[in-house]
Structure formats: C-alpha cells, structure tokens
Amino acid sequence: EIVMTQSPATLSVSPGERATLSCRASQSVSSNLAWYQQKPGQAPRLLIYAVSTRATDIPARFSGSGSGTEFTLTISSLQSEDFAVYYCQQYNNWPYTFGQGTKLEIK
C-alpha cells in the first residue's frame, strides 16, 4: 500500500496570502495524484487531478505541481471560503490512499 504523508498537519495563513501544502508518496505515483477540500460536515470536494488539472468550477487560485513522489497544492490568495482540510490522494495503485490531511486555518 502506498502511504501518503502530508505536511504540515496545520497551516495558519492570513486571508489574501499564499498557502503551500505538501504531499509525499512512499513510492512513485506517476501523475496519478489528486487534491480534495473538505469543510466540516460536508463531503470532500475534488479540486485537482492528474497533479495539476483543476476540476470543474475550481477557481484558478488553486494550482498543483510535482511528480513522482513529491507534490504541492498552492492557493495563491486565500479567500475566507478556502479555510478547510485538504487531502491528497493517489490513484496509481490499488488501494487508493489519502494523506492524513492538512488543516488550513485563519491566522
């Protein structure tokens, strides 16, 4: 099983600033990496797939990068609605696995 490790566990950022979230895979997942956002009491929302492709209706301030085992989600200018938990997910090998999440909180 591929283990996905996210850092940091919690990130405190002010609105309008940039946030950078990291995700590392225990082995290469090629470009089969996605990011999700989850708010309390809600289902996850797909943000990014194939490392850097934004899902439908996802704002351009969300961007993804990386390859192999190291990946990054960047939110260029944080809006109030962006404060949530973010998960990376690999779909290169079954079982598909998620990172433990990064909580993005208001500073």
The Cα–Cα gap between 87 and 82 comes to: 13
Nearer to other proteins, 3 or 77 (CB): 3
Nearer to other proteins, 43 or 60 (CB): 43
Torsion of CA 47, 53, 54, 56, to 10 degrees: -100
Burial class (CB in 10 A: 0-12, 13-18, 19+), 41: exposed
Q: Looking only at residues 53 through 82 of this chain, which bind other proteins when binding is defined by CB under 8 A?
A: 53, 55-56
| Contact stretch for other proteins (CB under 8 A) within 19-27, 61-69, 76-84, 90-98 | 90-98
Q: Is 89 in the site for other proteins (CB under 8 A)?
A: yes
Strands 10-13 and 102-106: parallel
Binding mask 4-43 for other proteins (x = CB under 8 A): ----------------------------x-x-x-x----x
